[in-house]
Structure 1
Amino acid sequence: MKKNAIALLGAACFVSGAFIMKVAEDKITLDVLQDAQKLIGLTFTNAQLDSTLSEMEDFKESYEAIRKVPLPNDVAPALVFNPIPVGYTFEKQKVAFDVAPPANVKLPKKREELAFYSIPQLAELVRTQQISSEELTKFYIARLKKYGPTLECITTLTEELAMQQARQADKEIKAGKYRGLLHGIPFGVKDLLSTKKYKTTWGAMPYKDQVIDEDATVVQRLQDAGGVLVAKTTLGALAMGDVWYGGKTRSPWDISKGSSGSSAGSAAAVAGGLLPFAIGTETLGSIVSPSTACGTTGLRPTFGRVSRHGAMALSWSMDKIGPITRSAEDAAIVFNAIYGPDGKDQSVYDAPFNYNPGIDAKKLRVGYLKKDFERSYGFKENDEATLAALRQAGIELVPIELPDLPARELTLTISVEGAAAFDELTRSGRDSLLVAQHKNAWPNTFRAARFVPAVEYLQAQRVRTLLVQQMQEKLKDVDVYLSPSFASNNLVMTNLTGHPCVVLPNGFQKNGMPTTITFMGKLFGEAELLTLAKFYQEITAHDEQHPDMNFGKKKKS
C-alpha cells in the first residue's frame, strides 16, 4: 500500500495541501511549478505553467480558509462509496434469524472450560439460570486480569459497567424478559469504538486519554441485545499493526509473536478465552490478519452493512466493522445484532440477513481461486486439506478468476483518506507522538499522501467502479468462493469492492502458529457465506483447537 502512495509523492504539488504548507510563506514561482511537474509525470510549457500562477495563489487561500473550519474525525466527506454494481437487486424478503439450540448444555465440572464455550452454549446456561450473568462476567474479567497483561490485549477493563449490566441481565432473565442469545453474555470491543464514560484511545499515544462520551452504534446495539461490555481491546495505533501506545499485542499461541493487526486485541482475547466474542474492524486485512495469527473466526461484512457511527474513521470508503469469534455460527449471532441502518451512517443499506438452518450448504454454488491454490507456499497442505474435505462432503468446487485490474495501485485510497482523517494530527506535529516512526508508519504515509493529486485520487475511484462491475460479472455463477488467506490480491481487491469474507482456522504451521483459509461471499451474501463456513466447521475440528494458556502449545477442547 505504502509503495504505491509514495510513488505518487508530490504528483501535483502545485495543487496539494502539503506543497502549499511548504511554500505558504513564499511566493509561488514558475521555477516551483517546473520542479513540481517532474513528480506528476506530465509536462506543461512555461507559458502554460505561468498562466496557472494566480490560480495557485487562489488555491492556497482556499486551503487556509478550509483549515479554519473545525473538522473532527467523525465528520465524513460529502461523498459515499457505492459498492452496488449496475443491475444489482437486493433480496426483498426478510426471514427470521434462527439458530438451532444446543442440546443438553451443562456447566462443566472444570469451570475453566467455560472459557471456550460457544455463544449458544453460554446463552443456554444463562437462560436456564445454571449460571448467572454476574458469575459469567466475573469469570471472564478474572481471565482478562490474569492473561491480559501478558497478551497486552486490553486497553481498558470496563468492570464497573459490566457488573451493572450483568446484574440487570440477571434481573430481567429471572423476570422472564429474555432478550435472546446475547443476553447476559460478556463481550469486548476494539478501542476505536466510542463508549460512554470510558476512554477511546484509538491505540495511539496522542489520544490515549481521549474520552468520547457516547456509545458507538455497534456498542449500543450489543447492549440493547443484553450483552455485557467487559473490555476495550487493543489495536495497532490508528488501526495499523499490533503495536499500540502500551506495547505489542501477542498471539496466545506464541507470545514471542505479535497478534498482527489492527484488531490485535480482539483476536488475541477471543483466541485465549478471555472473551466469548469481540468486535473488530477492517480496512485492508485488519480482521483477516489477526484472526490468522490467533486462530479465530473473523467476519468482515459487506461494506455498508454495519454502521460506523462512533468508530474512528481511517478510510470512509473502505472501513468495515465485524465480529471476531470462535465459530461461524457465533459470528452470525453477533452480526445479526449489529447490522442495518441507524440513521447516522449514510453508507449503510437496509438489506436483510436471512441466516437460518433452512439454507442447504450442499446446494450452494462454490468457487475457488484455482491459480492461487496451485502456488507454492508454506502451509499449502492445510488449504489442500480444506478443499479435499469440502469435496468429500459433497461440495463441488468450480475454478474462478478475479478481474485483471490494478487493485494494489488503488490502495492509495487509504493513504489519501487517512491523511484527511488525521489532517490536524499531521499539521500540528503531534504525529511525532506515535510510537511507530519508521518509513512505512502512519506519520510518513500521511505526509506522503498530501502530495497525491485530487485528480489521481478520483481516477483511482473510477477504476474502482470498473472493479466493482467486473467482480459482479466474475461472481455471477457462484454464491461463495474460497481463497488462500495469504492471497493479497484477493484481500486487496475485495476490500476495495466491499465484498464480505469469513476467515476460518484450518490447521497449524510447523512452528505451531495457526493457519486460516478465507471464504468469500457475494455482496450482502453473509447468510450463504456463514452457512458454508459453519458446514466446514462441522466436518472439521480446527475451530475446537485452543492454546493451553501456558502459551505456546495447542490442545483440543
Structure 2
Amino acid sequence: MGRRAAIGALGVGTATFRRALAAQAAQAGAVTAEMVRQAEWIAGLSLTDGEREQAVAELKGTTASFRALREVAIPYDVPPALSFVPAPGLRPASGVSRGGATPITATVASRPAGDEELAFLPVSELAGLVRTREVTSTELTKLYLARLRRFDPVLKCVVTLTEDLAMKQAAAADAEIAAGKYRGPLHGIPWGAKDLIAYPGYPTGWGAPQFKGRVIDEKATVAARLEEAGAVLVAKLSLGALAMGDRWYGGQTRSPWDPRRGSSGSSAGSASAVAAGLVGFAIGSETLGSIVSPSRACGTSGLRPTFGRVSRHGCMALSWSMDKIGPIARSIEDCALVFDAIHGHDGLDATAVDQPFAWPPKADLSGLRIGYVEDPQRPADRREELHVLKSLGLDPRPIELPRDVPARDILIMLTAECAAAFDELTRNHVTEGLNEWPATFLEGQFIPAVEYLRASRARTLLMRSMARLMEAVDVYVGAGDDLVITNLTGHPTAVFPGPLRDINGRPGPRSVTLTGRLHDESTLLAVAHAYQQATGHHRVHPPLERFLAEQGEATIKPVS
C-alpha cells in the first residue's frame, strides 16, 4: 500500500478533513501535527503520533491541490461527474413520445359569462375553448396579465412579467390555430415559470438579491418544450431565496386563501398564482417539498415526478441528486397534460430518461391496491380520501413506511450538495437575504466525503426498502416522514385539494397526497384524477376580491 493509499485508509484523507487543515495552513504557512490533532474530530478519528506525522507528509501535497482547484472558475450550471439513479438497471424505453395527451374530462362548450369564471377554468377546459376559437389565446393572455398586475400587490408572486414575449406567442398561437395547425391542449395557454427557470432576454434571479436582474442567455429545456407545445409564457414567478421557503427579495409570497399567511415554498409564486387564477398553469421544482408544500398551502394540484423524468437543464441546481421539475395546476388532469409535454431525455441533463407515459391512462382502477399508514388520530373508516378511493373500486390496505434506515439523517447529502453549489457565497461571507441558507452552507463545509458517501450507501438501502414496499401496493396515501423518504428515493407524488377546513378563522385547503411507483405517473395520476372527478374539491377557489378590498384599491401598484 502506497503512502497516499495508507493515509486514505486512515480516514483522514476526506475532503473536509483536508479543508480544515488547509484553512489552518493558509494562516500558519504549513501543516503541522498539532493541526492534524485539532482536525481529528471532523472525521471521528483518534490518531497516534506516528499517524499524525504521516498525515502531515501527505496533506502538504493535498492542500496544494485544494488551492489549485479553487483557482478553477466553475460556473453554477456545471454539475458533478456523478448522477443519481432511482431505479438501478432500468433501461431507457424505446419509442417514447411526447405531446399525445388529450383531456378526458368534457370541455366547456362556450365561453363563460364572466372573466373570473374563465380565469379559474382548468387547462383541460381552456384548451377546448381555445381550440374552437371561442376564446383566443390573445384574449386569455391579456386576461391573465391583467390579473397578475391586479393581485400581485396582495400575493407578491410575480418577479417579472414577460408581456412582450407573451403577446407575440399568443398571436402566433392564434394564427396557427386559425390555420388549422393545432399543437395540442397547451396550445395558446398562458403559464408561469418559477424564477429559477432560465429564459433568454429575461432575468432569472433565483429569489436571492445577489442574482437579482441577472439574465441567463439560455432557454431551459422545460421552457423550450412548453414553447414547442404552443404554451404562452406570461410571467416569471417568485421562489424563496435560493429555493427555500416563500421569502424572497420582493417580500413574502402569500396564500390566496388567506394573505395573512405565506404560500410556503419554495415554488411559492407558482402555487399562489395558479390558486389565484393568474395563470393557466405553472412550473415548479422540488428538492424536499417545494412542489408538495406550497400546493398544500395554496390548494393547488401538483405533480412531483420521478427523479429524472423531467430535464433540469437551464434550472438552478440546489441538489444534483434530489432536484426535480414538475407542474402545478388547478387539476390533476392539467398536471398530466403538462407533464406529457415536458418529460423525457434531452441530452443535456444526464439524469433525464425516457420512460412511457400515457394520458388518458390505460390503467383500470378496479382492484388497484392503495396503501395507507394507520393513524390512531384518524381511523381508516373516518378518512374521507380512503372512503372515496374505496368507492372507486380500489383496495385499501395498511402499510408501514421503511424504518430500517434513518431517512432524515441521509439529508446530510442535501446539505453537502447545496453547500458545494453555493460555495462561492460562503467563501465571500455573503448572507444578505438568503433566509437560513448561510448556516446550512457552513454546516455543509464540514461534512467529510466519507460521511457523504456513507449516507449515499444508506440511501441505497432506503431505496431497496421502498422497492419492497411498492411491490405490495400500486399507490399509497402519503403520511408523516414520507416526504423525506420519497424525495430521497425519487418516487413520484401527486398532491391535490381535499375538503376545506378552518385555518385561523378562515376556510383553507386540506390536501391529499398519493405516491406511486417509480416512472408510473400514469397510474398515480389516474387515481388522483378519479378522486377529483368524484369530489370536485379542486373547483373551489379563494375569495380574492374580498382580500383585495380589505387591503384597499388605493395601495395597488402595477408590477413591472
TM-score (norm 2): 0.91
Question: Which amino acid in the other structure matches residue 524 of structure 1?
Answer: H
Q: Tell me if structure 2 keeps the 8 A contact 1:14–1:33.
A: no
> What do the CA deviations read for 1:509-553 (whole angstroms, capped 9, x no partner)?
322331212100100010000000000001112111110103569
1:376 counterpart residue number: 377
Question: Which amino acid in the other structure matches residue 65 of structure 2?
Answer: S
> What do the CA deviations read for 1:228-277 (whole angstroms, capped 9, x no partner)?
00000000000000010110000011111100110000000000111110
Q: Is 1:192 the counterpart of 2:193 in the alignment? A: no
Compute the displacement of 1:97 (Å).
3.3
2:552 counterpart residue number: none
2:426 counterpart residue number: 426
Q: Tell me if structure 2 keeps the 8 A contact 1:254–1:551.
A: no
2:23 counterpart residue number: 21
CA 1:478–1:212: 2 relative to 1, 3 Å? same
2:6 counterpart residue number: none
- Indicate the SS of the match to 1:303: coil
1:272 counterpart residue number: 276
Q: Is 1:478 the counterpart of 2:478 in the alignment? A: no
2:502 counterpart residue number: 510
1:468 counterpart (445, 463, 466): 463
Question: Which amino acid in the other structure matches residue 345 of structure 1?
Answer: D
1:109 counterpart residue number: 113
Q: Tell me if structure 2 keeps the 8 A contact 1:295–1:515.
A: yes
- Indicate the SS of the match to 1:280: strand
Distance in 1 separating the partners of 2:546 and 2:270: 17
Bigger shift: residues 30-39 or 254-263: 30-39
Question: Which amino acid in the other structure matches residue 141 of structure 1?
Answer: L
> What do the CA deviations read for 1:50-95 (whole angstroms, capped 9, x no partner)?
2101222222111111111111111010000111145x57776758
What percentage of aligned pairs have identical amino acids? 49
- Indicate the SS of the match to 2:147: helix
Question: Which amino acid in the other structure matches residue 491 of structure 1?
Answer: L
Distance in 2 separating the partners of 1:480 and 1:518: 10
Distance in 1 separating the partners of 2:101 and 2:400: 33
Q: Is 1:346 the counterpart of 2:347 in the alignment? A: no
Q: Tell me if structure 2 keeps the 8 A contact 1:137–1:162.
A: yes
What residue ranges of structure 2 are gaps of 5+ in the alignment?
A: 1-11, 549-560
1:60 counterpart residue number: 63
Distance in 1 separating the partners of 2:16 and 2:256: 49
CA 1:18–1:109: 2 relative to 1, 3 Å? farther
Q: Tell me if structure 2 keeps the 8 A contact 1:304–1:348.
A: yes
Question: Which amino acid in the other structure matches residue 362 of structure 1?
Answer: S
Q: Is 1:494 the counterpart of 2:483 in the alignment? A: no
Compute the displacement of 1:424 (Å).
1.4
Q: Tell me if structure 2 keeps the 8 A contact 1:233–1:266.
A: yes
Q: Tell me if structure 1 keeps the 8 A contact 2:345–2:354.
A: yes
CA 1:213–1:90: 2 relative to 1, 3 Å? closer
Bigger shift: residues 417-426 or 286-295: 417-426
Question: Which amino acid in the other structure matches residue 43 of structure 1?
Answer: S
Compute the displacement of 1:333 (Å).
0.2
> What do the CA deviations read for 1:311-343 (whole angstroms, capped 9, x no partner)?
000000000000001111000000000000111
Q: How many residues align structurally?
A: 530
Question: Which amino acid in the other structure matches residue 474 of structure 2?
Answer: D
Distance in 2 separating the partners of 1:232 and 1:447: 30
> What do the CA deviations read for 1:163-204 (whole angstroms, capped 9, x no partner)?
010001111111111111011000001000101100000000
CA 1:549–1:523: 2 relative to 1, 3 Å? same
Q: Tell me if structure 2 keeps the 8 A contact 1:382–1:506.
A: no
Q: Is 1:83 the counterpart of 2:78 in the alignment? A: no
- Indicate the SS of the match to 1:214: coil
Distance in 2 separating the partners of 1:223 and 1:411: 35
Q: Is 1:282 the counterpart of 2:286 in the alignment? A: yes
Instruction: Give the alignment's Cα RMSD to 1 decimal.
Output: 2.1
Question: Which amino acid in the other structure matches residue 402 of structure 2?
Answer: P
Q: Tell me if structure 1 keeps the 8 A contact 2:42–2:446.
A: no
Compute the displacement of 1:25 (Å).
2.1
- Indicate the SS of the match to 1:121: helix
Q: Tell me if structure 1 keeps the 8 A contact 2:239–2:245.
A: yes
Distance in 2 separating the partners of 1:383 and 1:449: 43
Compute the displacement of 1:367 (Å).
1.4
Distance in 1 separating the partners of 2:54 and 2:13: 19
What residue ranges of structure 1 are gaps of 5+ in the alignment?
A: 1-9
Compute the displacement of 1:383 (Å).
7.9
Q: Is 1:309 the counterpart of 2:313 in the alignment? A: yes
Q: Tell me if structure 1 keeps the 8 A contact 2:93–2:354.
A: no
Distance in 2 separating the partners of 1:546 and 1:19: 57
Distance in 1 separating the partners of 2:13 and 2:139: 59
Question: Which amino acid in the other structure matches residue 377 of structure 2?
Answer: S
Q: Tell me if structure 1 keeps the 8 A contact 2:92–2:353.
A: no
Distance in 1 separating the partners of 2:355 and 2:274: 29
Question: Which amino acid in the other structure matches residue 452 of structure 1?
Answer: I
1:6 counterpart residue number: none
1:221 counterpart (225, 245, 249): 225
- Indicate the SS of the match to 1:397: strand
Higher relative contact order by CA 8 Å / sep ≥ 6: 1 or 2? 1
> What do the CA deviations read for 1:382-435 (whole angstroms, capped 9, x no partner)?
981111222233221111222221110011111111111111122122x22334
Q: Tell me if structure 2 keeps the 8 A contact 1:300–1:500.
A: yes
- Indicate the SS of the match to 1:25: helix
Q: Is 1:522 the counterpart of 2:514 in the alignment? A: no
2:539 counterpart residue number: 544
2:551 counterpart residue number: none
CA 1:364–1:527: 2 relative to 1, 3 Å? same
Q: Tell me if structure 2 keeps the 8 A contact 1:11–1:37.
A: no
- Indicate the SS of the match to 2:53: helix
CA 1:84–1:395: 2 relative to 1, 3 Å? same
Bigger shift: residues 19-28 or 328-337: 19-28
Distance in 2 separating the partners of 1:197 and 1:382: 54
TM-score (norm 1): 0.91
- Indicate the SS of the match to 1:114: helix
